């Protein structure tokens, strides 16, 4: 069984293709409680890397479904660059909620965290994603053989620092909508934490923190959502614009 969380489509694309390779069932965690998983099934989680750790939404989901922690967990982390200390910090995160046997596999795709970076050109992004998908057979075999990325006990104590950085970045006070907003309500409907509410035709962030998925920012049809001043003038990430049709597994459907 593959559980996945995807903000703009990268992780969904990887999870769907991995499910085909491994002949596994697949479940979007935004759809709620996972299907029943037998003790013999391999449990795989696919998620994006946020500041070297798992997103808050993913951690909440795993904590709210304690039956999952009785199994070993294989974690495929999509990221825009190197995994870095991610394997060690993720292992520590998951140990804290009951998982004991944890295997981590990085899958470098293309960056879409535009508060710090710019999205890559369509040609470069397409090549990066094609290269990532070409690595999935290797990752599938690593999962079968339980060959995880290296972890270091020396790095695990860095989890609180990473958490503080992430918690600061996910404060919703950074988000706002400009005059380009047309009041369509897409951001409200798509927010996985229900942190956005349309008021008087304009979105307001009603919770102090979100999961920092940036879906509201990237999927806004008019580019009205900004994150401080760091995203002003930057192109938004839309994978369906540059991926060839044979790679667009599920991207023509509702983005999740």
- If one compares 252 and 20, the residue with the highest pLDDT of the two is 20
For 130-140, the pLDDT digits (tens) are 999 999 999 99
3-class secondary structure for 174-233? Answer: HEEECCCCCCCCHHHHHCCCCCEEEECCEEEECCCECCCCCHHHHHCCCCCEEECCCCCC
Six token digits for residue 20 = 């085909």
Number of domains in the chain: 2
Element (H, E) at 22: helix 10-22
**Alpha-helical segments (H) within 27-174:** 56-64, 86-96, 122-134, 136-145, 159-169
Neighbouring-strand partners of residue 177: 225
Residue located via tokens 């008087």: 200
Does one domain contain both 126 and 190?
Answer: no
Determine, yes or no, domain membership for 186: yes
Q: Which residues form the domain of 58?
A: 2-158
Q: Is residue 77 classed as helix, strand or coil in its secondary structure?
A: strand
How many Å is the Cα radius of gyration of the chain? 18
Residues 45 and 101 in one domain: yes
Model pLDDT for residues 226-245, shown as the tens digit of each residue: 999 999 999 999 887 766 54
Shared-domain flag, residues 177 and 113: no
Assigned domain for 247 exists: no
User: How many Cα atoms sit within 13 Å of 244 on the Cβ side?
Assistant: 8
pTM for the structure as a whole: 0.92
* pLDDT classification of 71: cutoffs 50, 70, 90: confident
């Amino acid at each position: 069984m593959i559980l996945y969380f995807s903000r703009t489509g990268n992780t969904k694309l990887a999870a769907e293709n991995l499910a085909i390779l491994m002949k596994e069932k697949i479940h979007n965690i935004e759809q709620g409680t996972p299907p029943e998983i037998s003790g013999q099934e391999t449990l795989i989680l696919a998620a994006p890397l946020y500041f070297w750790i798992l997103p808050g939404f993913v951690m909440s989901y795993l904590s709210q479904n304690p039956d999952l922690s009785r199994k070993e967990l294989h974690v495929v982390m999509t990221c825009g660059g190197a995994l870095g200390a991610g394997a060690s910090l993720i292992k520590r995160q998951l140990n804290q909620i009951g998982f004991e046997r944890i295997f981590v596999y990085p899958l470098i795709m293309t960056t879409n965290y535009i508060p710090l970076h710019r999205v890559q050109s369509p040609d470069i992004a397409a090549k990066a994603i094609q290269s990532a998908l070409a690595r999935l057979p290797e990752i599938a075999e690593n999962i079968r053989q339980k060959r995880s990325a290296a972890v270091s006990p020396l790095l695990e104590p860095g989890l609180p620092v990473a958490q503080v950085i992430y918690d600061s970045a996910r404060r919703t006070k950074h988000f706002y909508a400009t005059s380009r907003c047309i009041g369509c309500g897409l951001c409200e409907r798509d927010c996985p934490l229900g942190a956005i509410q349309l008021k008087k035709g304009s979105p307001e962030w009603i919770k102090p923190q979100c999961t920092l998925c940036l879906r509201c920012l990237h999927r806004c049809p008019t580019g009205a959502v900004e994150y401080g001043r760091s995203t002003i003038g930057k192109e938004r990430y839309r994978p369906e614009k540059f991926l060839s049709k044979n790679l667009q597994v599920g991207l023509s459907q509702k983005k999740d």
